[in-house]
Structures are given as C-alpha cells and as structure tokens.
Amino acid sequence: MSKRSHSTGKPFNPETLALGYGYEPRLSEGAVKPPVFLTSTFQFASAEDGKRFFELAYGLREPDDGEQQGLIYSRLNNPNMQIFEERMAAWDQCELGATFASGMAAISTTMLALLRPGDVVISTEPIYGGTYYLFRHILSEYGIDVRLVAAGDDAPARMREAAEQAGAARVRVLYLETPANPNLVHTDIAAIAQLGADLRAAHGGAVTTVVDNTLLGPLFQLPATMGADIVIYSATKFIGGHSDLIAGVASGPRELMVKVLSMRTILGTGATPFNGWLLLRSLETLSVRMRRQQKNARALAQLLAEHPMVESVSYPGLLAPNEPQHALWQKQCTGSGSMIAFHIKGGQAAAYRVLDSFEVARLAVSLGGTETLVEHPMTMTHADVPPAELEARGVGPGLIRMSVGLEHLSDLKRDLVHALRAAEG
C-alpha cells in the first residue's frame, strides 16, 4: 500500500496506513500481516549489493534516485522495525522514523546524536523522571549544560531568557514534554519552535526542537505540524498499549534522523524484531484505544472534580475557557487523552491510603495500557527529583497520577469512589 490512493490520488489517513503501509505481501509469501523477521542478519544477493548497502548505511555515498537502504543486520535495520517506523513517521507527518529498545533509548540516543561537550539544552520541567536523570546526572557528566524552566504558558519566555543567560549561540536543543508528566501542564510547541528558528537565524548554529509526545500523540497532538523537529515517544505507553513491551520511537526530518539512526546503529539501541512486530500489531488499534480510553477518563475526571476529598484535578477536558491553559490546549491538541493527575486532601498519607484501596485500577508505574494504572509520582516515577523542585512545579505529596484504561466505566467509577473513601482516614 502506498501513502496515496492510486485511484483517487487522495492521501490515506494514518489509521488506514497503520494497516498496510510499508509492507509488501508479495515479498512474504502473500502473508496479509508482516511475519516476525527473527533473524540477526540478511543474505546479500551479491557481494556488490553488500558493498553498496554498507556504503549507504555508513553515509559514504548519497542514495541513487529512489534507492532504499538494503537489509544488512538487525542492529541496523529489520523489516519489523522499518515497517513500524514508516507508519509512525507517516502518522507524525515526518520524513523518517527510528524504533528503539525503550523510550529512554530514543531520548538518550537522540540527545547523543545532537549534542557535544559545551552545548546547552533547555528543557521544560516537570519531565519524566528518567529523562530528568539523563539531563541532570548523565549529560552533565559529558560537559553538556542542561537548564530547566517551568512548563506552561510562560515557558517560551522563560526559555528565551534561559538561552540568553546560558549564551544563546551554545543552545543546541530545546526540549519539551507536553503535556508534562506527571502534572499535564501544556507548553506552546509552535512558540518554542519559533524560538529555535530565531536562535538559528541569530547565531547560525543547529538548534533542534525535540518534543516528547508520549501522553497525547500521535492521535491528539502532532508536534511536527507546529514546527517541532523531532517527535519522540515512549512506545511502551499508548502506542504499545498493552503493558507487555518496552519500546521507543522518534520521527523527524531525514537530515536529522540519519544522524540519530547512525548513533542507534553504533549504540545498539534499536528494538528487537519481535517488539517491532508487537508494535505493528498495536498500532492498528491505537486510534480506537485512545478514543475509548479518553471517554472513560473524561467521566472519571468529572467524578474527581466533584469529590470533596479531591483538592484539584488536572485534565485538559476540564479546563474552563477562562483558565490560562485552555487557549493553548485548544490550539495545539485535538483531545484530552486519558491521563489524569489529582491532588488528594491530606497529603501523602491520604494519597497512599487511596492508592492501597483500588481493586480494579492497579498500583503500578507506566501508563497508556489497556488497564487502569495509578501511582504516586513524588515517591515513584519522579523519586529522583528533589521534593522541593517537584513542589515548585505543582507536584505535591498528595498528587496521584492515573492512566485510564478500557475497563467498563461503571466498574471504574465504583472503584474510584471506593478508593477515595479511604482518603478520609
């Protein structure tokens, strides 16, 4: 299947592409679904082919017109990874994708491809705890200067200020996680991409805007259409969607993704063929799952907002038109998704009692799976971030993060009401 209909010339939608694009049944005995290509290496038709494939893989020559990278070795490429990344790149409206062994492999490989000692990264905060650890403890060891600014409506102005303070000519990556994990604060993607363009114009250096799109994308948010360069996901979450695999994916312009793919080849951070196959299978139902999970989440968010033991609820669909984030959410998202963050009255002790009282929802980290998960960000996913830093970003001891699944809504509501009773002590 190609990207456009042969008969009408019209482009197919991502949901349709997810079922056929990038796969040629003729090459696999007519199998309607791609088989799992459980092979570490691929046989060349001739020595000349092997030589030409390697030349392309190592960037030793430009591809001939229409030439595709040949299959070499599963650390470099594999049909299961490749079909998945073509479908993801199409969904993200980017030129090229790359599949990874985890979301963290996608983030760290991309950062290592883009950064060198002395460079500056400016990122929004809060961010996922693992990304925070990479930025604070690992990149800094390699001489990379990471500055964190609060996510939200003022983030573009804060990033501009941070760039000036750090020395604007040294800025190489503008990183944002929007909505932010765990408090679901939105940051203006187009405004940050514009800052990147301004810095490039002023100083001539390469400045890449990278967006972690795990929480709403690709269904409800498409950063590349707003000027972002690289779009990253923990595919462990909604894309994998069944809490049975760990994977990551990144998409972007060919010029940048070639660098990311070269780094992936050498670090060996790509996904296994079997996980590539699982991701392909999951992508087919992504749209249906995310929309149905959103429906459940909207009802639970409403229930939480009306509960006397709940201090506040973060859920995009509950934003009132006069609230600061409403206009931004309307501008850059087409849905609310199925993540909810809520503060329980009574702090950590009350939050723990609630977490221990769920029967349907599971007390586990991660998100985006078919089952409902709840966790305590301050002492779990974001445990490495100093508590004062978290509190300054609105992540307090009473905060619970919930990823809403596909269970029957009446069971989820009863479960939540029952668990919230425990908050009273």
Ligand X SMILES: Cc1ncc(COP(=O)(O)O)c(C=O)c1O
Residues interacting with ligand X, by CB under 6 A? 102-104, 128, 130-131, 177, 181, 212, 214, 234, 236, 246, 248, 366
Radius of gyration of the chain (CA): 22
Q: Which is nearer to ligand X, 72 or 230 (CB)?
A: 230
Q: Which is nearer to ligand X, 91 or 175 (CB)?
A: 175
Report whether 277 contacts 232 (CB < 8 A): no
Report whether 83 contacts 64 (CB < 8 A): no
Q: Which is nearer to ligand X, 78 or 181 (CB)?
A: 181
Shortest distance in whole angstroms from residue 230 CB to ligand X: 13
Shortest distance in whole angstroms from residue 331 CB to ligand X: 21
User: Angle, to 10 degrees, between the axis of helix 409-421 and the axis of helix 347-355?
Assistant: 140
Q: Which residue is nearest to ligand X (CB)?
A: 103
Q: Which is nearer to ligand X, 355 or 423 (CB)?
A: 355
Shortest distance in whole angstroms from residue 102 CB to ligand X: 3
Q: Which is nearer to ligand X, 112 or 246 (CB)?
A: 246
Shortest distance in whole angstroms from residue 106 CB to ligand X: 8
Shortest distance in whole angstroms from residue 233 CB to ligand X: 7
Shortest distance in whole angstroms from residue 231 CB to ligand X: 12
Pairwise CA distance, residues 5 & 282, whole Å = 24
Q: Which is nearer to ligand X, 93 or 366 (CB)?
A: 366
